[in-house]
Amino acid sequence: MEKLKIAGGYPLKGTIKVSGAKNSAVALIPATILADSPVTIEGLPDISDISMLKSLLEEIGGTVQFEDGDMTVDPSKMISMPLPNGKVKKLRASYYLMGAMLGRFKKAVIGLPGGCHLGPRPIDQHIKGFEALGAQVTNEQGAIYLRADELVGARIYLDVVSVGATINIMLAAVRAKGKTIIENAAKEPEIIDVATLLTNMGAKIKGAGTDVIRIEGVEHLHGCRHTIIPDRIEAGTFMILAAAVGEGVLIDNVIPLHMESLTAKLREMGVPVDAGDEQIFIGKADKLKTVDVKTLVYPGFPTDLQQPFTSLLTRAEGSAVVTDTIYSARFKHIDELRRMNANIKVEGRSAIIHGPIKLQGAKVKASDLRAGAALVIAGLMAEGITEVTGLEHIDRGYSNLEEKLNGLGATIWRESLTQEEIEQLKSS
């Protein structure tokens, strides 16, 4: 086990490159199960979720090659093997294996997924969709069993706008008989990315990126090559840290259209933001004005950037309110920021931040992926040394983070935890 050490107070400048989208990758890789010949996905991030999915595909008989961000999956010899627990438990997005395996084999057994603990994240909308397509779904001993004689297209209305359910139903429906219509569908860029891959494989999908998606089922899907979109959450994390401690940072490999809600908030704070075709430049901001933020589904402000943005707001003058309408339990980073001298209190679904405050280096623990990003940003802003544990969360979503930040002039390194520190962590 390791900890991340950050020497704060160094200004960052230069160019930083964004990796492929994690939230896309975890759906694109299971989608390859639906093809009957090899699929290559280019530009994947080098993160633990990807290596976990690679071994799950190999477990069910896939041949997978992965190097330099490019993955080729040959699904021709895959079988419908149960995946009741083990690796599946460690990966929230393993639920996409349900839709893909159901779509291809008409049956699947998947252990209930894990990942970050962010309060209730039920998969009832996924199950509602599978049942509408003709599957029987049962929950037995902590695993979901899916069985169908055949899948038949249906009209499915999502009670809650859900990215996961939208993608999962899409995966199950592309090889079903007849027409499927998903109403109140999520509109995130990652959904368009998955639909693009499936279309390249021969699926017939219209309306991805709108709230009504229409799918005409086909019998077979074939292999193809696909390049993943850039990670808008990683890009947003870099934009926020550039606003916090930057002296001119160019963010490369980004789609500015995906970043508009964050760009608007940064400009409101007085941060110079200049967007090109595939790049965004964040200039130095001397004084930051405070702003309120409310997370919403896309194209609103992303819940995944709420925690990193909270760190930035400790530098702004005045009081700010950050409200998370998506996940109620997404404030575990607040106690850690308080250890670093932040003046923040939580009321219900909102955090109230009073600034400006000079953060102080401290020992902190990342409880989930984006809390980890928030603490890294806080460490870069703070005086002295910050130690972050819980790196397994950060490694799930950010590839080569230290290397990228050190390239901008940060001073970040990893050290092994002592036995005593490991015991302390286990008891905390």
23 is in an annotated binding site: yes
- Give tens-digit pLDDT for 385-412: 999 999 999 998 899 999 999 999 999 9
3-class DSSP state of 411: strand
Give percent of the chain above pLDDT 90: 87
141 is in an annotated binding site: no
Q: How far apart, in whole angstroms, are the C-alpha atoms of residue 313 and residue 292?
A: 9
Q: What is the pLDDT of residue 89?
A: 74
pLDDT at 112: 77
Label residue 123 by pLDDT band (50, 70, 90). Answer: confident
400 is annotated as contributing to ligand binding: no
**Over the stretch 57-102, which tens digit does the pLDDT of each residue have?**
999 999 999 999 999 999 999 999 998 777 787 777 889 999 999 9
Res. 116 pLDDT band, cuts 50 70 90: very low
326 is in an annotated binding site: yes
For 22-227, which CATH class? alpha beta
**Distance between CA 26 and CA 95 in Å, rounded?**
10
Q: Which residues are catalytic?
A: 116
Cis preceding linkage at 84, omega within 30: no
pLDDT at residue 118, rounded to an integer: 44
Indicate where the chain has its CATH 3.65.10.10 domain(s). Answer: 2-19+230-427, 22-227
Beta strands 293-295 and 70-74 are unpaired
The pLDDT of residue 143 is 86
Pick among 3.65.10.10, 3.60.60.10, 3.40.50.10140, 1.10.240.10: CATH of 2-19+230-427? 3.65.10.10
92 is in an annotated binding site: yes
Strands of the sheet with 343-347, listed across from one edge: 293-295, 318-324, 350-355, 343-347
5, 281, 348, 379, 403 from 8: Cα distances, Å: 9, 22, 31, 6, 16
